Structures are given as structure tokens and as C-alpha cells.
Amino acid sequence: MKNHFKWGILGTGGIANAFGNDLKFLNGHAVLAVGSRTKKSANNFAIKFKDCKPYDNYLDCIKDPNIDGIYIATPHNSHAKYSLLALKNGKPVLCEKPFSINSVEAKKMIKVASENNLLLMEAMWTRFLPHINKVRKIIDKNILGKIKSLHADHGQNLSMNANPRLWEPSLGGGALLDLGIYVVSLSHLILGVPKNITSRAHFTDKGVDEQTSVIFDYKNNAQAVLKMTLKNNTPCKAIISGEKGYLEISGPFYAPASMTLILNDGTKSFFENNYEGHGLREQAHEFAKCKSLELIESPLMPHKETLEIMESMDLIREQIGLKYPND
């Protein structure tokens, strides 16, 4: 089949590989260029994908005339830098989460995209998965009634030796930016912008948060209780509770998952997970759809919400004292 959407990827790490591999489930999408800081890394990545051209720098990859869009999969601290580079060179951008280090960077990225009439979308891949679409429908149909609480956790045992970038302040490391973004984004999806935020954290010797707990309070007396850690595995479940019952998303909630709906009258419904693949392809499908419609943002992950999430992240960081060189 002829490729109707041709991707250029900046970065050759785990998420870049996962994205490229998941595109194989999606008809008409292909990785045709990859940019890296070294020729060896670019070559090693490119051989995994048919007709993929390797570049030993990011700018040449961005300028490849055959590319329809750029996927930013570099470390957190460079998301804004390379998104802006791509946008200023006329390429629409799908930028990995966290969208940026802080809301100041996010505002600049959105401004440049708008000025150049180019699509810019946060790659919060969970937002585009089938089970999250089902969650939206359950809430929209008022099946749970008024939502009163959300409990969500994201913990992984990510050792410093195996995952060095997550422990480095200069690379935007720490539990909040890498893992916590999922629970914060979910809370914004379900309950919106919090009225008050209360945060506590424990830090590594290098100065990034290894474990953070957050409570979001809302005007309607709803709460979100969110936990994240780099030090140990947790269930990674999410429970959305309303006046009429609750919905439990099995772990990991941020990937394709099964769900159980339990109502106060005893009614119980199970939603099985039959999804094949990682799930990253759903954001690629949404991105290509938005580009074909000549949109500059996705209605499922609009700029306003991306910015609101980054502002919440900023406030959490301020409360726990998490600072980065980019600030």
C-alpha cells in the first residue's frame, strides 16, 4: 500500500522504537526518516524500517522533503527546542509527553505553531486509546453520575543504571515528568482544572523527585489522589468514582486496558481488552486525521488543555521544590 503519511522521527530511544513498530499495525503510515546525534545510532534505527533514511543530525531530518510530520522522541529537556526547530522549518509536530519542561516553553511552542498555521499535538497517547474513548462516553452519558473522586497511581522500578536519563536533572528526570504526567493528564481529562493542589515528594541525591504524591481539589468538592514513583512497581490502576458507582481501569491504565463498571444497584459490567500492539499508533492516526483536515490542534488533546496540564505540573514542581536547568 502506498504510504499516505510519512514520518520523520527525532530520537532513537525506546519510545521512538515503540512508536515506529506500532505504526506497522496502521495502514498507510511509515517511518521514512530518523534523526539522531550520531550516524551509528541513526543507522541502527533506520535498518528496522523499510526505506527509512538515517540522518546524523536533527535539522536535516526535519528538512527531508518527503516527510509529512515530525515525531519528537528526544529527552524531556529538548522537546521544546526541537519542536520549535521543526515548526520554524514548516513541519507539523507530534511531541512526546511531557510536552515541555514548563508552561513557558509550552506557550512558546503553541504560539509558533499558530503563527505558522501548523499542527502541533502533545503525544499523550493514552488520550486516543479505545478504552479511554469508552471512559469519555460513560462519563458523558452520566452513567456514574457526578464524579466525586479519582485515584490513580503510576509506579515503576526504574533503576539509575538501566534508566540514567530519568535520574538526571539536566535531562528533565524524575517521577513527576516521566510517570506523573499520565495521572495528572488523566485527572484533567476526568475532572478538569483543579482549584487547589497539594503536593509532597521525596528526592534522589541528584535532585529529582523519586516519589511524589498529589491531591487535586475541585470546586464541586471532588478530589483526585495521584501517586507516582521511580522506585517501585505499583498497580498502575485508576478508579473513577461517582454518585452512582465507580469505574476501575486495570493496570496499566495508561495503556490498552480492561475495565470494570460497578454501580450502586449491584450492576456489574466488564469491558475486555482485546487490543493488539502497543497503542502508540492511535495518536499517529489522530495526528494524520487532523493534518488532513488542516487543523492546528487535536480536539481530543487541544492546546488549551495541554497548557493547563503544564501549568498544574509547574505548581506541583513549585510546591515540592523541583528545579531544572531549563527553568
* d(C-alpha 306, C-alpha 312), whole Å: 10
Domains annotated on the chain, with CATH: 5-125+280-300 (3.40.50.720), 130-275 (3.30.360.10)
Contact 22, 105 (CB under 8 A): no
The span from the CA of 113 to the CA of 87, in Å, is 6
Q: What is the CA radius of gyration of the chain?
A: 20
Question: Following CA atoms 127, 130, 132, 138 in sequence, which dihedral angle do they give, to the nearest 10 degrees?
Answer: 140
The span from the CA of 309 to the CA of 186, in Å, is 10
pLDDT in tens, the chain (327 residues): 455 899 999 999 999 999 999 999 999 999 999 999 999 999 999 999 999 999 999 999 999 999 999 999 999 999 999 999 999 999 999 999 999 999 999 999 999 999 999 999 999 999 999 999 999 999 999 999 999 999 999 999 998 888 888 999 999 999 999 999 999 999 999 999 999 999 999 999 999 999 999 999 999 999 999 999 999 999 999 999 999 999 999 999 999 999 999 999 999 999 999 999 999 999 999 999 999 999 999 999 999 999 999 999 999 999 999 999 888
What span, in angstroms and rounded, lies between the C-alpha atoms of 6 and 18?
A: 16
Strand partners, 241: 149, 246
Residue 175: in which H helix or E strand, if any? helix 175-175
Q: Is the pTM of this model over 0.85?
A: yes
Length of the chain: 327
Q: Which three cell numbers stand for residue 171?
A: 535531562
